[in-house]
Amino acid sequence: MLMWLSLWVIAVLGQRLIYGDFQGAKNEAFRFFSPGAKRVSLVLGALVGWAGLSAMWSPVPAITIDKSLQVAGLVFVLGVGAILVSSMDRIARWHAARGAIHGFLVGALYLAVEHTTGGLIKRTIINGTDLMDAGQSFNVVRDGVVVSINTIFLNRHTNAFVVLSPVIVLAASIWLGVGARWTRFALLFSLSVLALSFVSNSEASKVAVIAGLIAFGIAVFAPTLTLWLFRIGWTTLALLMPLIVMVLPRAETLPEEVPFSARQRVMIWQTTAARVPDAPIFGHGASATRYLDGELPKPAPLDDPGLGRHAHNGFLQIWLELGLVGAVITALFGLLLAQGLAGLQARPRTLAIVAVTAITVLFSTSVGVWQLWMLSTYGVAALAFVMWARDVERST
Q: For the chain, first and last CA: distance in Å?
A: 42
Of residues 271 and 8, more confidence is placed in 271
pLDDT at 35: 57
User: So what's the pLDDT on residue 6?
Assistant: 46
Most confident by average pLDDT, 59-73, 164-178, 223-237 = 223-237
Return the DSSP state at 141: E
Output 20 or 85, whichever has higher pLDDT.
85
| Tens digit of each residue's pLDDT (9 = 90 or more) over 276-308 | 999 999 999 998 888 876 544 444 444 455 566
Question: Residues 141-148: what's their mean pLDDT?
Answer: 70
- Run of H or E including 138: helix 132-138
Residue 19 confidence (pLDDT)? 54
Lowest mean per-residue pLDDT among 31-40, 62-71, 181-190: 31-40
Model pLDDT, residue 266? 85
Quote the CA–CA distance of 165 and 275 in Å, as a whole number.
36
Is a pLDDT exceeding 70 seen at residue 136? no
Determine contact, residues 389/86, Cβ cutoff 8 Å: no
367: pLDDT strictly greater than 70: yes
Residues 6+ apart with CB under 8 A from 331: 234, 235, 238, 239
| pLDDT for 4 | 44
Q: How confident is the model at residue 208 (pLDDT cuts 50, 70, 90)?
A: very high
Residue with the larger pLDDT of the pair 306 and 52: 52
pLDDT at 31: 54
pLDDT exceeds cutoff 50 at 165: yes
Q: Which of 125-129, 240-244, 335-339 has the highest mean pLDDT?
A: 240-244
What is the average pLDDT across 142-148?
71
Residues 6+ apart with CB under 8 A from 183: none
Q: How confident is the model at residue 7 (pLDDT cuts 50, 70, 90)?
A: low
Helix (H, G, I), strand (E, B) or coil at 308: coil
**Mean per-residue pLDDT of the chain:** 80
Query: Could you give the CA distance from residue 292 to residue 299 in angstroms, rounded to a whole number?
Result: 15
For residue 294, what pLDDT is reported?
57
The residue-averaged pLDDT of 221-235 equals 94
The confidence score (pLDDT) of residue 198 equals: 83
Contacting residues for 205 by C-beta, under 8 A, at least 6 apart: 155, 158, 159, 161, 162, 197, 362
- Checking if the pLDDT of 120 tops 70, the result is yes
pLDDT at 20 over 90: no
Please give the pLDDT value at position 2.
39
370/318 Cα distance (integer angstroms): 10
Kindly report the pTM of this predicted structure: 0.85
List Cβ neighbours of 396 (8 Å cut-off, separation of 6 or more). 177, 178, 179
CB-based burial label for 129 (10 Å; 0-12, 13-18, 19+): exposed
Report DSSP state, residue 145: E
**pLDDT score of 297:** 46
Coil, helix or strand for 146? strand
The string of DSSP codes covering 58-74 is -SSHHHHHHHHHHHHHH
Helices vs strands, H then E, count in the chain? 15, 2
